[in-house]
Amino acid sequence: MKPAVMTTQDPIAAAPPAAATPRHARGRSRRGSILLHATVISASAFAVFPLVWILLSSFKPKEWIQSSQITLVKEPTLANYQALLANTDFLVWFRNSAVVALFTMVFGIAMSASAGYAISRFRFPGKRPLMWTFLITQMFPVAILIVPIYTIMAALGLINTPASLVIAYCTVAVPFCTWMLKGYFDTIPVEIDEAGRVDGLGPFGTFWRLILPLARPGLAVTAFYTFLTAWGEVAYASAFLNTNDRFTLAYGLQTFVPKSPALPLWELLTPAAVLITIPSGIVFFFAQKHLVAGLTAGGTKG
């Protein structure tokens, strides 16, 4: 009988060959990474270029804005901003737009949040038809809705008043925001409502004290959307307003574009376009940290 022979093997040699690492697991190639970054940079430059060009043009004298020679900033001046603020009704239009946008935002949030919470939590007669009504109203273009809404506003004596615009803008913003907030409220556990009722809170107390603080991302999106709806809208403003002291910014700036063959007043339009973006930027700054969560949370029910 032969004695057993002990052999040792190199563990590295004995180990089975590792499977080839997939290409996507090793990351993009250098060429692919360069191509991706070049595409992103090009798209960003293409999107930002008009905004930068308007900003730079707002500091140019009139003759250089309308010149065929391409220049970035030549003979910079603040005369355009001074002429806009001193010789036009820009500040009046700015005030009118701010009032309309703020009231639209407040009423839009109040109606959308309460309606979205009721649809999300309660069962009541007409719930499904109400949801379909909110959805169907989004299918009609503004051109079709202007005439019936104008007739209603005229019957109520609201033509050429800010209230007519606030009501019209709410008809546009509230249905969409209600659906969005309804989806967001669906992601908040119902157990929170039950805990509120155990503590003696009624439906409104539960909604106000418990649900709304948890719905800040959704409310931020609603505020941002309703503000932009009212801030930049021109169709309803041009139909409902008929005196210069009641114009909003979007409609008032049309006076800088003459109907005759004369060129637009670019020396007034460019600084006005820059100043118009400031309120929107401020609202976005305060709402930005909630925007992504608010836009995505209502898409699926957790």
CA angle 213, 214, 215 (to 5 degrees): 90
Are both 52 and 132 inside the same structural domain?
no
Sign of the torsion angle spanned by Cα atoms 124, 129, 133, 134:
positive
Domain end position, chosen among 57, 77, 97: 77
Mean pLDDT of the residues in the chain: 83
What percentage of the chain carries pLDDT values higher than 70? 83
Q: What is the average pLDDT across 239-244?
A: 90
Q: Give per-residue pLDDT as tens, 1-14.
A: 444 444 444 544 45
Query: Given pLDDT bands bounded at 50, 70 and 90, which one contains residue 153?
Result: very high
Query: Given pLDDT bands bounded at 50, 70 and 90, which one contains residue 116?
Result: very high
- Could you report how far apart the first and last alpha carbons of the chain are, in Å? 71
Identify the pLDDT of residue 299: 46
Measured distance CA(267)–CA(174) in Å, rounded: 37
Measured distance CA(61)–CA(81) in Å, rounded: 11
> Does residue 54 form part of some domain?
yes
Are both 226 and 101 inside the same structural domain?
yes
pTM: 0.78
Measured distance CA(232)–CA(251) in Å, rounded: 9
Q: How many domains in the chain?
A: 2
pLDDT of 302 above 50? no
Are both 59 and 188 inside the same structural domain?
no
Structural domain span for residue 201: 82-297
Are both 53 and 202 inside the same structural domain?
no
Which residues have a Cβ under 8 Å from the Cβ of 185 and sit 6 or more positions away?
Answer: 116, 117, 120, 121, 211, 215, 218
Domain end position, chosen among 21, 49, 77: 77
Are both 160 and 146 inside the same structural domain?
yes
Which residues have a Cβ under 8 Å from the Cβ of 134 and sit 6 or more positions away?
Answer: 115, 174, 175, 178, 179
Identify the pLDDT of residue 32: 83
43-57, 149-163, 273-287: which has the highest mean pLDDT? 149-163
Q: Give per-residue pLDDT as tens, 213-234.
A: 888 888 988 898 899 989 988 8
DSSP 244: G
> Does residue 19 form part of some domain?
no
Residue closest to 162 by CA, chosen among 224, 103, 228, 106: 103
Contact criterion met (CB below 8 Å) for 139 and 172: no
What percentage of the chain carries pLDDT values higher than 90? 32
The CATH number assigned to the domain holding 214 equals 1.10.3720.10
Identify the pLDDT of residue 11: 47
Q: Which residue has the higher pLDDT, 64 or 292?
A: 64
